[in-house]
Amino acid sequence: MTRKCILSTCQLNQWVLDYDGNRERIIQAIKAAKAAGATLILTPELCIPGYGLLDHWLENDVYANSWDIVAEIITNPECQDIVVDLGLPVQHRSCSYNARAIALNGEILAIRPKLDLCNDGNFREMRYFTPWPRGRVEDYVLPDVIQALPKKQRRCRIGEVAFEALDGTFASETCEELWTPNSPHSLYSLAGIEIVLNSSGSHHEIRKLDTRINLIKEATAKTGGVYMYSNQRGCDGDRLYYDGCAMIMNSGHVLAQGSQFSLRDVEVVTTMVDLDEIWPFRTSRSRGLQANDPAVHRIERIQVDFRLCGKALQLNPRAQLTESMEPRYHLPEEEIALGPACWMWDYLRRSRAKGYLVPLSGGIDSCATATITYSMCRLVVAEIAAGNAEVIADAQRLCDDQDPRGLTAEQFCNKIFTTVYMGMKEQSSKETRTRAVDLAAAIGSNHIDTNIDPMVQALHGVVTDILHPFEPKFKVYGGSQTENLALQNFQSRSRMVLAYALGQLVPKSRGSEGGLLILGSANVDECLRGYLTKYDCSSADINPIGGISKTDLKRFIKWAETDFGLPVLRQFLDAVPTAELEPITKDYVQSDEADMGFTYDELSVLGRLRKSFKLGLVGMFQRLVVDWSDRVKADGERMTPTDVYWKVRNFMYYYAVNRHKMTTMTPGLYLESYTPDDNRYDLRPFLYPRFAFEHRKVESMLKVMEEGQAGLVNGA
């Protein structure tokens, strides 16, 4: 005896409030699933309006519009004879819920609201939605647009329900519920539910996929069963990239996995499973004992007059079950190459801009931004070659309606990407200028090599005239630190003004219309330390590397040197990071790490302790006085507890005095768990005291340590 059935899940590139586009992508996925013989399809979380609406969730229109789209989908002739699990928000008794509407043949079988809301990190679901109480089920009055359909359906059940078809059972859980200790799927499997559907809006974070796959494996490995996972993919209008990887597993084994990074708007993953194969995983007597717990049987079951396992499929001897496979993972370097590139493509095509521009300094950060843009061009050209109609249409617009087919990545890059080296005769080195020119030539960008001395001198002259007879000087010429910093900022802010001027005018100068989006190149560690100028060329439209650490960027550049065939990148890896904002003399060349007082690796550690481990100044000291006890300083001496204290003290000082910069930072793609983005993720003050209490507390600890050390020496 077998119960073979074909199941589909999908990943969709949805966009907030794009009701028409979102509907068409859902219908396209349903059609593809039906063509593959599937009797059930799962779609991503809140896929009808898009996930990242933020305060738009507080608008009645969103709820009404979403039901309008549901009505259009479930009555579409192409969407019949298949169970469809759709994501939308619903209102019920003056509360709002993140919910699933499970439909079949023009009828809503039931609504399953989300039980556990995601309310940390990047997510604020409890700002908008109410968690549904476990086990509660009641009647729901359907909106007029559903009641007016041919079925004339007025009510359905809403709550934590399961579905019992004629030959199989299934139930839904949503995103966060997989990540919680008391996950619903455990109860469902004990209740004999054979298929669990998880619709998600899970964002990309470097190295996060491993955790996600392990959680899904664990969800079915203990008691058996099919687990279907659907996820959004793409940029839906904010700082997150949703990375797909729709999956179907059976009893701890991966049967199918969608791509993690792709420019395809719709991707459907389909498998054939035998529901009778679940039985061997559920014959444990201890499981049977737990399954008889009265709490297991409280789940209300919705009867569905439909077969998941078609008779023709059971009689077909050639119908082979999907074999298990090893899950696919990308290296972290590949994640950096592909995730931001896909996000940038979505942002570019949906903003209707003409391309991108980046100030290319000859340093590794702007180099990484340029290389990621080149990666985007490589992906676009590959999709064009594969016949992706959506990508071809978007690329054709960017190419002034010329057919983009046949273009190389370098040729496409030249059409949509401008790099600008904005040098200073006295501050900029020949090496950084040459590196910028060489990189632009290698990736094919439209490169501009210029000096900004006239802009800076003009600003210097205006300020000097105003403050006469005072004239600011660099510190190498006898000026103070205040003067030195102000003169550096003359340059960096001039670059921002020039970048935007060129962004508006470069397309016109090349015979085209429209404007370029300006890319920022401040990495997560520089944002954390505040080692950047407010409103300099870190101020841009978007920042692809704003959530990536310097350490990971270096690894990415090293990887791209080989995998992208760009030997020019070796020059950037070997170069000493420098802002080149001060005059170069025979005795002095500005160095980023020397200026900051920290290595980038140290900043990465401090950032994770502050954000991921949730430690304050004292907690960081207590942790690092142990972790860094074997660390050797630049002078060759081992780091003492006092050295650690001053590292932590200085870090918190610079973090505090520069925190205000984060309130104006360019929106950066979130990729790192300790990003200091004030706008969405890192909600902390931007005006701080000087941590006097914490200083006294650590200094007391140091005194005890020193006295103890002295006692050991005297005792010896």
- Residues classed as catalytic: 45, 114, 175, 361
Show the tokens assigned to 229: 């996972």
Helix (H, G, I), strand (E, B) or coil at 627: helix
d(CA 335, CA 207): 8
Closest to 680 measured CA to CA, from 44, 352, 203: 203
Q: Do the Cβ atoms of 155 and 139 come closer than 8 Å?
A: yes
Show the tokens assigned to 289: 């004992």
Q: Do the Cβ atoms of 674 and 614 come closer than 8 Å?
A: no
Residue type (1 letter), 244: G
d(CA 7, CA 248): 9
Q: What is the phi/psi pair of residue 178, to 5°?
A: -70, -30
d(CA 125, CA 175): 12
Q: Do the Cβ atoms of 379 and 338 come closer than 8 Å?
A: yes
Sequence-separated (6 or more) residues with CB below 8 Å from residue 305: 166
Helix (H, G, I), strand (E, B) or coil at 254: strand
DSSP 579-615: ---S---SS----HHHHHTS-HHHHHHHHHHHHTS--
How far apart, in Å, are the Cα atoms of 671 and each of 7, 74, 205, 327, 524? 32, 37, 5, 21, 9
DSSP 514-557: S-EEEBP---HHHHHHT-S-TTSTT-SSBBTTTTS-HHHHHHHH
Is the bond preceding residue 150 a cis peptide, omega within 30 degrees? no
Closest to 172 measured CA to CA, from 164, 190, 156, 160: 160
| Half-sphere exposure in the Cβ direction for 646 (13 Å, CA) | 6
How far apart, in Å, are the Cα atoms of 627 and each of 499, 526, 621, 630, 640? 43, 23, 10, 8, 11
H/E run at residue 244: none
Place of tokens 């300020």: 463
* CA dihedral sign of residues 405, 410, 414, 418: positive
Show the tokens assigned to 228: 């279907």
Q: Do the Cβ atoms of 479 and 464 come closer than 8 Å?
A: no
Place of tokens 């219908």: 27
